Homo-oligomer: A and B are copies of this chain.
Amino acid sequence: MRENPRLKPPGGTGYLAWLRHYRRAWLSGDLTAGVVVSVMIIPQSMAYAMLAGLPVEVGLYASILPLIGYALFGSSMSLSVGPVAVTGLMTATLLAPLALAGTEHYLQLAIWLALLSGVMLFVLGLLKLGFLANFLSHPVISGFISGAAILIILSQLPHLLGLANMPSTPGEMLSRWEPVNSLVLGIGLAAILWLLYARTALSGHLQRAGLAPGAAILLARLAPILVVGIALAATAGWNLAEAGVPVVGALPAGLPAFSWVTPGVSDLRSLLLPAVLISLVSFVESVSLAQSLARRKRQSIDADRELLGLGAANLGASLSGGFAVCGGFSRSVVNIEAGANTPLAGVIAAAIIAGILLSIAPLFGHLPLVVLAVIILVAVTPLIDLNSLRRAWRYDRAEGITLLSTAIGVLVLGIEGGIVLGVCLSIVSQLWRGSRPHVAIVGRVPGTQYFRSTKRHLVEIEPHVLALRVDENIFFANSKAIEQAILQAFNEYPDTREMLLILSAVNHIDGTGLDMLSEITEGLAERDVQVHLAEVKGPLMDQLADTDWLTEQISEVFPSTHIAFNTLGNLKRAPQAEVA
């Protein structure tokens, strides 16, 4: 299959391969994407900084160096990194016990959290330990995201209702009930309606008005910037701030200074677990997003380079006074739809944000907080993923329970508690599944060489041959159950003289399992029953080769069940002399 040259992966073969082999044909796409993404992420970044309990300009600071850092090391051609909702929430809740939001110390802790997490991600990438993230199963990730989305929505309700005092918990919100500011609520509801319209019907209307479909979709994606513009104009025109609508407030102009304050040992220690959690979640989210983007363009992703890219992005964030960043879903989708071919699109977006910080940034000080809250609300509501819950519940009850417990755990126990609970549940349910093995008595499908369960098929058996297929790795959690299944099968067929264990589905036998098999074989030998094996896989055979069980207790190892069945069927050993 020949490939369209525009679709050929520009990266994937070494650092900055996209730059070294850059083609003129890619430039217009990267330029468009850079402009569109920068316009889109200005309100978003400010909103997520507010969610994180930080001054809104910190969101803009975290939208420059991280994009360049990722471009240097990352392997995705389309991923756009920056502040996202989940890392914003994690920054807020993980730092809450350590400092008061709004203080200088809190800001410094947020910067160090990005630093620590950047170092961890980069080191994991150097050590090629990206596989560690595999221990977060999909139900845990999905449950975590849904729980986090609910937490985020709860955290933004006071902004929407125009409450002056920010209650930190839902309980506090109810107990310290205040009159709703109806002006704020009105602005909020209008903004919500506009954003929902933009998300659903706007692009269709624009197309009917004559725009090309691609342009219509992109314009609809930029709807939030229109809300921001109208809100700014209204605040200035009607002096809403004096009418009691909370606004962002003074916003410094200019680029962030390169900042470096050495963290103390006690701060580092208290930030260690938060940094582990935020690194893990950022990595898992970014890499799965990068993979789904890469699939669209038939490119590939290197998980270890993603670690380096994300690590560099977070180091960049912390050096320029920003907070933790991660690959963002909506910004990456806009990036790819606007035509991004390489990370140059991100570099261009970074340059535009820097230009805005140098020019019109102070204008955003007039923005009502409720507009930022609405942007967050509309962005995170789709993250509550009931569909995954339904699917998991139907496919495997244990996974449905894991997903639900993780989500409830995040709400009730907090972010750390929810993740730890989910990981433990997914490990336990995996062990539990392995601890209930399926052991089938099999016979030959007449006229063939195939062997199937006597319970599910009409098959031929030999009365003195008992053929058992063990459908699970044999290890400590199931060796007792397998022992019982084997002995029970033996009781059902008491005339057995030859027992054949078919190991086609056994990939490992641990020491506990080996001891069990050895004891069973010994017990059967005392009853004059010989044990044979069939279909032992190569790697398992290598491991068993030196054991006493295989060399001294097992009669024969057959390459196939068919050969074993024929050989044993014709074997008529004389019964052993009676034992007193």
Contacts and interface: CB of A to CB of B under 8 A. Distances in A.
A510 B137 contact: yes
Interface in A509-547: 510-512, 514-515, 519, 522-523, 526-528, 537-539, 543, 546-547
Contacts of A134: 435, 476-481
B438 A399 contact: no
Given A2-B578, A131-B435, A450-B560, 10 more contacts: A4-B580, A134-B435, A138-B476, A138-B511, A138-B515, A295-B523, A395-B511, A433-B508, A471-B537, A473-B473
A107 B427 CA distance: 40
A130 to B, nearest CB: 9
Interface size class on chain A is: 35 or more
Contact of A526 (B138, B298, B440, B546): B298
A475 interface: yes
A136 interface: yes
Contacts of A394: 546
Contact of A575 (B1, B426, B435, B504): B1
Nearest to A133: B480
Contacts of A505: 504-507, 537
Contacts of A477: 134-135, 137, 430
The 8 closest A-B pairs by CB, nearest first: A137-B476, A138-B512, A505-B505, A399-B511, A471-B507, A137-B512, A134-B480, A504-B504
A443 interface: no
A172 interface: no
A396 interface: yes
A456 interface: yes
A546 B440 CA distance: 23
A426 B136 CA distance: 19
A539 B469 CA distance: 13
Contact of A543 (B138, B298, B395, B487): B395
Contacts of A4: 579-580
Given A135-B477, A537-B505, A391 B511 contact: yes
A559 interface: yes
30 contacts: A1-B576, A1-B578, A134-B478, A135-B431, A135-B476, A137-B510, A137-B511, A137-B512, A291-B519, A298-B527, A300-B487, A392-B511, A395-B543, A395-B546, A396-B510, A396-B511, A427-B431, A430-B434, A430-B510, A433-B510, A434-B508, A438-B537, A440-B538, A449-B562, A453-B538, A456-B538, A471-B507, A471-B537, A471-B539, A472-B507
B137 A426 contact: no
Contacts of A504: 504-505
Interface of A: 1-2, 4, 131, 134-139, 291-292, 295, 298, 300, 303, 391-392, 394-396, 399, 426-427, 430-431, 433-435, 437-438, 440, 449-450, 453, 456, 471-473, 475-481, 487, 504-508, 510-512, 514-515, 519, 522-523, 526-528, 537-539, 543, 546-547, 559-560, 562, 575-576, 578-580
B430 A475 contact: yes
Contacts of A507: 437-438, 471-472, 505
Contacts of A298: 523, 526-527
Contacts of A510: 137, 396, 399, 430, 433
B395 A514 contact: yes
A98 B50 CA distance: 50
Contacts of A480: 131, 134, 303
A491 B478 CA distance: 37
A288 to B, nearest CB: 10
Contacts of A512: 137-139
A481 B134 CA distance: 9
A253 to B, nearest CB: 45
A504 B220 CA distance: 50
Contacts of A578: 1-2
A191 to B, nearest CB: 35
A562 to B, nearest CB: 8
A526 B135 CA distance: 29
Nearest to A512: B138
Contacts of A138: 476, 511-512, 515
B476 A528 contact: no
A137 B434 CA distance: 14
A426 B476 contact: yes
A396 B510 CA distance: 7
A284 to B, nearest CB: 11
Contacts of A440: 538
A526 B456 CA distance: 37
Contacts of A538: 440, 453, 456
Contacts of A481: 131, 134
Nearest to A527: B1
A409 to B, nearest CB: 17
Contacts of A559: 450
A227 to B, nearest CB: 35
Contacts of A139: 511-512
Nearest to A519: B295
A281 to B, nearest CB: 15
A474 to B, nearest CB: 11
Contacts of A396: 510-511, 543
